[in-house]
Amino acid sequence: MNPFKFELSHRDASTEARRGVFLTPHGPVQTPAFMPVGTQGTVKGVTIDQVAATGAEMILGNTYHLTLRPGHETVRKLGGLHAMSGWQGPILTDSGGFQIFSLDAITKVDEQAATFRSHIDGAIVRLTPEHSIEIQEALGSDVAMVLDHVIALPATQPEVLAAMERTIRWAKRCLDAATREDQARFAIVQGGLDETLRVQCANELSQMDFNGYAVGGLSVGEAPEEMYRITAATCPALPPHKPRYLMGVGRPIDLLESVARGIDLFDCVMPTRNGRNGLAFTDQGHLKLRNAIHREDTRPLEDHCPCLACRHSRGYLRHLFVAGEMLGPILLSIHNLTYYQRIMAGAREAIEQDQFAEYLQQKKTGWGM
């Protein structure tokens, strides 16, 4: 019996937004949902209990980073990623495909594999689709992503086509290599900024028996409008009864605009990365806490936010950053993660009430867009 199921409960009346639940062996995920990024088995600067308190139900880990350290066999011996990290909810692991893009200068790709030099010690790492699945099965995540070929944009049409076709072939190899029945597999649609190639890729992957489908290779420097255009073109070509995941996105506005186009799952380092650098997301736009204007401000970041940071004043939070106290980045990371969960909870409620378009406009107005 397949332990994974995606149940759609409602479609918004005026947009493509979907309300659902993704059922996994480690619990349900209410969608649309945002997954905090725990690349190396931890969401940076935040304990597992604090991550759960933000409202997150599912987190992300990374195959490439975890196989370098502590090593996937070490993770297996520690009981898998759930036991090692202490996170008992669902976990999705990225396949290492993004590193083909981000480490392009030290990566070579051929039909069999992507070959890297470790960013830690320069050791050669050869990642085939089969090995990517082997690693993810050792990690024990609930969702394993296929290894895909991500290329930098802009690229020539032949380059985009070749990477897309390789992604399809690699997806089949990943599916053939999989052995765990308690681990879902998600395919990844590539095709650059070409709508025709994206639809072709989505159609071919949809013929394979995946538990879900991701839109990859976006949020890599293209204009937001281009990302929205490709997402809108791709989603209708994906199976309606499977979850759709937009990888590595993004700003709060990107999440909501993509929900409106039919996306169910998201991940991004933005909440914690910005939190560590003194930027807080709010319904009135972002606040740069290091700015002197906040020095004597007694207000919280947001009046109705339940997070730990909002128990303190903006002035105190600014002080923590100016003084170099580690508590500042921790508190702002918690606030930003909570904020992302709040906007997704609001999105789910708005979809149920057929008011998602109004919700999106309300948020954009608050953000000054």
Active-site positions read 94, 267
Distance of CA 13 to the CA centre of its chain: 26
Torsion of CA 98, 101, 105, 108, to 10 degrees: 80
How big is the CA angle at 37 (ends 350 and 349), to the nearest 5 degrees? 10
What is the Cα–Cα distance from 210 to 106, expressed in whole angstroms? Answer: 31
Cβ within 8 Å of residue 67, ≥6 positions away: 96, 125, 135
**3-state class (DSSP) for residue 287:** strand
CA atoms within 13 A on the CB side of 307: 30
What is the Cα–Cα distance from 110 to 166, expressed in whole angstroms? Answer: 9
Q: At 72, which helix (H) or strand (E)? A: helix 72-77
| Strand partners for 281 | 286
Residue 148: CB atoms within 10 Å: 32
- CA dihedral over 60, 63, 68, 71, signed as positive or negative: positive
